[in-house]
Amino acid sequence: MGFKFQNVDFLKFDTLLNEDERLVRDTARAFVEDNLVPIIEDCFREGRFPRELVPQMGELGFFGANLHGYGCAGMSNVEYGLVMQELERGDSGFRSFVSVQSALVMYPIYTFGSEEQKQKWLPDLASGRKLGCFGLTEPGFGSNPGGMTTRARKVGDEYILNGEKMWITSGNIADVAIIWAKVVDDPEPGKETVRGFLVETDRPGFRADEVHGKWSLRASVTSGLSLQDVHIPASNLLPGSGGLKSPLMCLNQARYGISWGAIGAAMSCYDTALQYAKTRKQFRNEPIASHQLIQEKLVWMISEISKAQLLSLHAGRLKDAGTLTHEIISLAKRNNVWMALECARMARQVLGANGITEDYPIMRHMMNLESVITYEGTHDIHALIIGGHITGSPAF
Ligand code: TGC
Ligand code: FAD
């Protein structure tokens, strides 16, 4: 069942995009319609990541799309955002996989890696021949990653890593993990500095355990990682990384993409509710779309989606101009994910009982968005980031 997606564009948003941007968006849209939509409900129910779609996404340039060289597509940040929008219109978990591969694995290698590391990893990650994950969160440190207990100790020409990471997207399917750890006695005895490491997942002492029992992002793999005396060559340190600022720079990339992705999930919910309301009849033998309270819900959704589109497009234009700040990204991520979750809840009501079934994508989006509003900085943590910025008083 369900409906074929119809474009959601109240504001003539397309007129704000150039031809290349529309082409990229339409390519991603067709990929999602043809390949993801037909299988996603089964994947979600079965708790299966549709890995078979990885090579095609590599060919389409979706991995590390806004990076240049090393086999990457060199898209603009707006184009990259539009890809994220379309992928999440399909499924947030599927978009998460691409976000992690791109913003959290390829970006740190691209930004903090040596030339040798870039040559070795980026082309394979761009094509999807290799997959990666990003280990920042720990069982005891989520919103406050600066408290991490994972440690790296330099011994001769090796580092030895010990620690636990939790809630790691793609942990069990990754060939390489970007692990953030505090290096002991760095830069001087008694001091510690957060640094990033490339850890091949087949190294002795590295273990990934999949998290089961999720009611959210079921089409995405989530894992706990354990590192016990994992020896890596010193050359696996990302040499440009240093301080908590480094992983936070990666989060900026991912959060920016999420701000677009959430619009996609909201579009899917709104479009489903609109089409349903036009066909479902109650009382006067007229479609429920003719009832004022249904219209009010649809109007709320299209208003908020339209504002979110402008917000992310503005952020993208600033990012392309090199002037985007992380506080603006926090505002966009916070607003758009909240907006999408509200749309999912409203759209679900428009569908009545049918809204709770897998015949329509709404309930899946709603459950997925509960993760999206939590990861990459919770809704409240982004309020504190913005609040600290405008008042000058950090409130963590
Ligand atoms: P704080 O003292 O505020 O900052 C430490 C240093 O970092 C700088 N900074 C940033 N730099 C770049 N980008 C940002 N967004 C930055 N935020 C802060 C800051 O200026 C400072 O620099 P310096 O030079 O003075 O050292 O740090 P804090 O310890 O008080 O912590 C606050 C913070 C920012 C960590 C917290 O607000 C936060 O963001 N917590 C959320 C953690 C989080 O988002 N984790 C995400 C894990 S990955 C994930 O969820 C993947 S989900 C899969 C998917 O993406 O689809
Ligand atoms: P906590 O930090 O324990 O927060 C619990 C509650 O307390 C929240 O409501 C929070 O807003 C609130 N809170 C915390 N501190 C404050 C404060 N100072 N003031 C007011 N309220 C506060 N991490 C990775 O590193 N890599 C990944 O790939 C990754 N993928 C993920 C995939 C999924 C499906 C999920 C659910 C999470 C993923 N994460 C990943 C982890 C994610 O980033 C964390 O869950 C998130 O940062 C929140 O941390 P926490 O769950 O420990 O919550």
Q: Average of pLDDT values for 104-124?
A: 98
- Identify whether 139 is preceded by a cis peptide bond (ω within 30 of 0): no
- Atom index in ligand 2 nearest the CA of residue 169 equals 28
Instruction: State the Cα–Cα distance between residues 392 and 382, nearest whole angstrom.
Output: 15
Q: Average of pLDDT values for 358-380?
A: 98
Whose Cα sits closest to atom 40 in ligand 1? 143
DSSP state string for 345-369: HHHHHHTGGGGGSTTSSHHHHHHHH
Provide the token pair at 167: 């809630």
Q: Report CA(373)–ligand 2 centroid distance (Å).
A: 9
Residue 284 banded pLDDT, cuts 50, 70, 90:
confident
Q: Average of pLDDT values for 78-82?
A: 98
Residues noted as catalytic? 376
Q: Report CA(144)–ligand 1 centroid distance (Å).
A: 8
Provide the token pair at 360: 């329509």
Q: Which residue has the tokens 């349903």?
A: 276
- Atom index in ligand 2 nearest the CA of residue 220 equals 34
Q: What is the pLDDT of residue 2?
A: 85
At position 383, the amino acid (one-letter code) is: A
**Per-residue model confidence as pLDDT tens digits over 237-246:** 999 999 999 9
Instruction: State the Cα–Cα distance between residues 274 and 3, nearest whole angstrom.
Output: 10
**Per-residue model confidence as pLDDT tens digits over 91-113:** 999 999 999 999 999 999 999 99
Q: Average of pLDDT values for 208-219?
A: 98
- Atom index in ligand 1 nearest the CA of residue 377 equals 44
Mutate to test the pocket of ligand 2, among 334, 364, 381, 386 (most ligand atoms within 8 A of CB): 381
Q: Report CA(254)–ligand 1 centroid distance (Å).
A: 12
Q: Average of pLDDT values for 139-163?
A: 98
Mutate to test the pocket of ligand 1, among 245, 337, 393 (most ligand atoms within 8 A of CB): 245
Q: Report CA(67)–ligand 1 centroid distance (Å).
A: 22
Cβ-Cβ contacts under 8 Å for 211 (sequence gap 6 or more): 167, 222, 223, 224
Whose Cα sits closest to atom 16 in ligand 2? 396
The model's pTM is 0.98
Q: Average of pLDDT values for 211-238?
A: 98
Question: Relative to the alpha carbon of 223, which ligand is closest?
Answer: 2
* Domains present along the chain, CATH in parentheses: 13-131 (1.10.540.10), 133-236 (2.40.110.10), 245-391 (1.20.140.10)
Q: In 349-371, which positions are buried (b, 16+ CB within 10 angstroms) versus exposed (e)?
A: ebbeeebeeeebbbbbbbbbbeb
